[in-house]
A = this chain, B = another copy of it.
Amino acid sequence: MNNEATSISSEEKILTGDRATGSLHLGHYVGSLSRRIDLQHQYHQTILIADLQGLTDNGFNPTKVSSNILNLMADYLAVGIDPTKTTICLQSALPALSELTMYYSNLVSVSRLQRNPTVKNEIANKEFGTSIPTGFLTYPISQAADITAFKGTLIPVGDDQLPMIEQTNEIVRKINTIADKKVLVECKPLLSKTPRLPSPDGKNKMSKSMNNCIFLGASEKEITKAVKGMYTDANHLRVDDPGQIEGNIAFTYLDAFHPDADLVQSLKDHYQRGGLGDSKVKAVLNDCLQELLAPIRSQRELFLSDKAELLATLKAGTVSAHEETQQVLLDVKGLFGLNLFEI
A→B interface (CB under 8 Å): 51-52, 55-60, 62-63, 65-67, 69, 90, 92-93, 95-96, 98-99, 101-103, 105-111, 113, 130-138, 141-142, 174, 178, 311, 314-315, 318-319, 322, 333, 335-338, 340-341, 343
A116–B340 alpha-carbon span in the complex (Å): 33
> A105 touching B135 by the CB < 8 A rule?
yes
Asked if A110 meets B93 with Cβ closer than 8 Å, knowing A178-B60, A343-B322, the reply is no
**In the complex, A58 Cα to B337 Cα: how many Å?**
13
18 CB contacts below 8 A, A to B, read A51-B338, A59-B107, A60-B178, A65-B336, A66-B337, A69-B340, A92-B336, A95-B96, A98-B99, A101-B102, A105-B133, A105-B134, A105-B138, A106-B134, A108-B133, A110-B137, A111-B130, A318-B343
Contact A98 B93 (CB under 8 A): no
Determine if B106 and A55 form an interchain contact, defined as CB atoms under 8 angstroms apart.
yes
With CB as the reference atom, state the residue of chain B lying closest to A138. Answer: B134
Q: A133 — which chain B residues lie within 8 A by C-beta?
A: 105-110
Q: Is the CB of A314 within 8 A of B336?
A: no
Among A56, A110, A314, chain B packs the most CB atoms within 10 A around the CB of A110
A111 to B129, CA, bound (A): 11
Give the CA-CA distance A65 to B109 in the complex, in Å.
20
Q: Which residues of B lie under 8 Å from residue A56 when comparing CB positions?
A: 105-106
* Distance between Cα atoms of A133 and B103 in the complex (Å): 11
Find the B residue at minimum CB distance from A130. Answer: B111
Asked whether, in the complex, the Cβ of B343 is within 8 Å of the Cβ of A93, the reply is yes
Interchain CB contact (< 8 A) of A98 among B57, B59, B98: B98
Residue of B nearest to A335 (CB): B62
Closest 3 CB pairs of A and B: A66-B337, A59-B106, A105-B135
Q: A105-B133, A314-B340 are in contact. List 11 more A-B contacts (CB 8 A).
A: A55-B103, A66-B336, A66-B337, A93-B338, A95-B95, A99-B99, A105-B138, A106-B135, A109-B132, A110-B137, A134-B138
Given contacts A65-B336, A337-B62, contact A130 B105 (CB under 8 A): no
**Alpha-carbon distance A336/B51, docked complex (angstroms):** 10
Residues in B with CB closer than 8 Å to A52 are 102
Given contacts A59-B106, A101-B102, A135-B106, contact A315 B336 (CB under 8 A): no
How far is A109 from B56 in the complex, measured between Cα atoms in Å? 11
CA distance A322 to B110 in the complex (A): 31
With known contacts A55-B336, A340-B311, A109–B131 Cβ distance under 8 A = yes
Interface centre among A58, A105, A109, A133 (most CB of B within 10 A): A105
Q: Does A340 lie within 8 Å of B93, measured CB to CB? A: yes
B137 and A92 contacting across the interface, CB-CB below 8 Å = no
